[in-house]
């Protein structure tokens, strides 16, 4: 077991609390085909980014608003395929409501719909794409999440599943960054990696992790 001292937990949503991989792939593949784009090239830019930032990589400025509205509609239509990451419900149930927040690159309606579809609570402290000027890997989202909880970021544990999120957590000055799942992190190694949230236990003063050191 790895013991981690922290006062609050900041969770990414997709890939950390909920498994939305099938719905994300379906929605963005449909979107790419509608616009005559290569779905594989688009999917390589999706994870960890706000939709508006991904769209900006592929669509000229004059068409971006329409393209963002299209992917928003496609993603909401697919939320029924969302499930909870193993251990997420149990971990969240063990946490005081003022000790955790979700910081996601998704929009508020999409994030809440996915959490509810997965049977998970919507947190009191929720930072979404529309709440920040800059998406991940910028630290703004995680700094905002810590601020909502009234805890310095250095006393928070950040849970992420993608490199841009790990960079955001580190840039925010998080005390520890926990990687979740089997996605490759490359050079952006978390401090600790767990297969899913069954390996995480809240002690009241921090975390116990059945994990490997990054």
pTM over 0.85: yes
Q: Could you tell me if 13 and 115 are in contact, meaning their C-beta atoms sit under 8 angstroms apart? A: yes
Over 90: is that where the pLDDT of 185 sits? no
Query: Beta partners for 192?
Result: 178, 213
Q: What is the reported pLDDT for 1?
A: 80
* CA separation for the pair 126, 142 (Å, rounded): 10
Our answer to whether residue 40 is catalytic in this structure is: no
- Which one of 12, 72, 188, 191 is the catalytic residue? 12
Our answer to whether residue 12 is catalytic in this structure is: yes
- Which one of 14, 19, 72, 188 is the catalytic residue? 14
What are the φ/ψ torsions at residue 139 (nearest 5 degrees)?
-80, 0
Burial tier of 139 (Cβ tally within 10 Å: 0-12, 13-18, 19+): buried
Per-residue pLDDT band for 211 (boundaries 50, 70, 90) equals low
């Amino acid at each position: 077991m790895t013991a981690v001292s922290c006062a609050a937990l900041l969770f990414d949503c997709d890939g950390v609390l909920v498994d939305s991989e099938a719905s994300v792939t379906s929605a963005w593949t449909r979107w790419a085909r509608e616009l005559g784009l290569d779905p594989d090239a688009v999917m390589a830019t999706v994870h960890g980014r706000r939709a508006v930032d991904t769209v900006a990589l592929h669509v000229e400025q004059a068409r971006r608003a329409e393209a963002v509205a299209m992917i928003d509609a496609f993603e909401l239509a697919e939320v029924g395929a969302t499930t909870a990451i193993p251990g997420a419900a149990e971990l969240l149930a063990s946490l005081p409501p003022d000790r955790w927040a979700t910081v996601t690159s998704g929009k508020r309606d999409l994030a809440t719909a996915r959490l509810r579809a997965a049977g998970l609570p919507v947190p009191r402290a929720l930072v979404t794409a529309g709440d920040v000027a800059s998406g991940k890997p910028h630290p703004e989202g995680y700094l905002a999440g810590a601020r909502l909880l009234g805890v310095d970021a250095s006393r928070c544990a950040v849970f992420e599943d993608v490199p841009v999120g790990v960079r955001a957590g580190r840039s925010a000055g998080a005390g520890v960054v926990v990687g979740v799942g089997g996605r490759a992190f490359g050079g952006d190694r978390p401090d600790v990696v767990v297969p899913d949230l069954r390996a995480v236990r809240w002690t009241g003063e921090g975390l116990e992790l059945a994990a490997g050191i990054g």
